[in-house]
């Protein structure tokens, strides 16, 4: 493993601000193959602590120990955020796990998405359902969910589908949940432990 080589690659990313540490792993052959994938390809990275702001990067995997603010990054494998995430034009190709709230604008989550708090999305794609534990989920401006939405909130939760589409079932763990359809929002599926309200 050549730490210096990885640090040089990471420093090449424009507007990367990190208070924690970034480390990479792999051998020379893997790195040579990675360099052929993309100009901005970065070896497996872990940002171990603190809030982070990232821009214009590509990561094999990413773990952040605090809040994450990110614009135009791609994560090839898992994304793990220990607090809140504010994401713009971010693509995650494997599982996403945010322990706090998620604000997503023009993002793509290709695999399962698990959120510990509330969700607000604008023009965002969720390719394998959503599990969330907060009290509210807002899908707006052509957001799309393929798969089931599961609310694990201990209190009745509210899901707003505003000019967006959900192709799957919605399940509330606690009875009394609400699914509000606004501005031609669509739910193609069933609701368990809740009611649909058309506005």
Radius of gyration of the chain (CA): 18
d(CA 136, CA 111) in angstroms, rounded, equals 21
Q: What percent of the chain clears pLDDT 70, i.e. is strictly above it?
A: 76
User: How does the average pLDDT of the chain come out, rounded?
Assistant: 83
pLDDT tens digits, 70-91: 999 999 999 999 999 999 999 9
Q: For residues 18, 24, 29 and 32, what is the CA-based torsion angle, rounded to 10 degrees?
A: 0
Structure token pair of residue 106: 């023009």
Write down the pLDDT at residue 95: 97
CB 40 within 8 A of CB 24: no
Residue 154 pLDDT greater than 80, yes or no: yes
Split at pLDDT 50, 70, 90, the class of 30 is: very low
H helical segments located in the chain = 3-11, 28-37
Residue 14 pLDDT greater than 80, yes or no: no
Task: Please tell me the pTM assigned to this model.
Answer: 0.78
Going 70 to 91 to 100 to 11, the CA torsion angle's sign is negative
pLDDT tens digits, 89-108: 999 999 999 999 999 999 99
């Amino acid at each position: 493993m050549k730490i210096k080589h990885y640090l040089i690659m990471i420093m090449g990313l424009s507007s990367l601000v990190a208070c924690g540490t970034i480390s990479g792993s792999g051998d020379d052959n893997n790195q040579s193959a990675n360099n052929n994938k993309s100009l901005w390809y970065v070896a497996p990275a872990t940002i171990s602590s603190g809030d982070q702001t990232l821009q214009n990067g590509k990561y094999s995997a990413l773990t952040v120990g605090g809040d994450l603010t990110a614009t135009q990054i791609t994560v090839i494998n898992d994304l793990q955020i220990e607090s809140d995430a504010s994401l713009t034009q971010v693509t995650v190709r494997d599982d996403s796990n945010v322990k706090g709230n998620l604000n997503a604008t023009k993002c793509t989550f290709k695999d399962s998405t698990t959120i510990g708090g509330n969700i607000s999305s604008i023009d965002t794609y969720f390719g394998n359902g959503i599990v969330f534990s907060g009290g509210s989920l807002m899908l707006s401006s052509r957001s799309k969910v393929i798969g089931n939405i599961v609310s694990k909130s201990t209190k009745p939760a509210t899901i707003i589908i505003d000019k967006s589409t959900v192709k799957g079932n919605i399940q509330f763990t606690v009875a009394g949940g609400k699914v509000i359809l606004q501005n031609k929002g669509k739910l193609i599926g069933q609701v368990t432990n809740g009611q649909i309200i058309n506005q």
